[in-house]
Amino acid sequence: MDTGEETTLSNRPNTKLLPIPKGFRIQKRPLPRQSLSHPVSRDGVPDADGYMPGPRASHTVVINVAAKTPFMSLVKRVRKALENGPEKTKGLSLAARMAALQAVQRNDSNSARANGGSASSTGILTDSLDDVVMVATGRAIQKAVEVGAFFTREKELLVVPRTRSLAVIDDIVLDDDALSGGEADQEDKVRVRNTSALEIGVRWRLS
């Protein structure tokens, strides 16, 4: 029933960005890396919508995807990270590689459970077993989806997409007109902005 009142989710704060001052422009920074990959732990900070990213294994490789990154370049980076796994399984037979990866992932699962994680009946833990994670925002999301779809054709790999929010930093700097007008003595500013992101996790299957 429509009561005429605006409602908001309790875990999604209603915050609005302040307007950009006259004579300034926005200069976006690259995605933060520190908050995307960390040892198996829940010491991280929840997203703006209240979502707590799952534990991340210490061996997980995080790749920030840019819209202009060539498709095959991303494919090669993901494949290289998979081949150079936590136990340096490159060159081993498939059976030996699976055994080594299974041992590492079992240890990560136990550590993640001790830190608040959970496993499903199929033995798949939410985030901690990913060997590679691609992170994309904006126009780069399509590129990450295309690369993830490419790896779904390989039966030995499991591809897991997730959506989340990221806190990113923008620099508010003087535009060219303000600089030429003699306002260069004004200080640049920064702001924190929440943006939607897509994670594509890629991992070796346990069986």
Structure token digits, residue 77: 């980076």
Residue 74's nearest CA partner among 141, 155, 130 is 141
Domain residues for 95?
Answer: 24-36+53-204
Q: What is the CATH number of the domain that holds 109?
A: 3.30.110.20
In a domain, 11, yes or no: no
In a domain, 13, yes or no: no
Q: Which amino acid is at 48?
A: A
pLDDT tens profile 9-59:
444 445 566 677 777 777 776 666 544 434 443 445 555 555 555 556 667
Element (H, E) at 60: none
In a domain, 15, yes or no: no
Confidence check: pLDDT of 152 > 50: yes
Pairwise CA distance, residues 117 & 190, whole Å: 35
**In sequence order, what E strands does the chain have?**
24-28, 61-64, 132-137, 157-174, 189-204
In a domain, 47, yes or no: no
In a domain, 3, yes or no: no
Q: How many CB atoms lie within 10 A of CB 204?
A: 21
Tally of domains within the chain: 1
In a domain, 104, yes or no: yes
Distant-in-sequence contacts of 113-116, Cβ < 8 A, 24+ apart: 115/40, 115/41, 115/42, 115/55, 116/42, 116/55
Residue 21's nearest CA partner among 190, 195, 168, 205 is 190
pLDDT tens profile 55-93:
566 678 889 899 999 999 999 999 999 988 654 454 555
End-to-end Cα separation, the chain, in angstroms: 49
Rounded to two decimals, the pTM is 0.59
Confidence check: pLDDT of 108 > 60: no
In a domain, 132, yes or no: yes
List C-alpha distances in Å: 3 to 8, 9, 13, 14, 119: 14, 16, 21, 19, 41
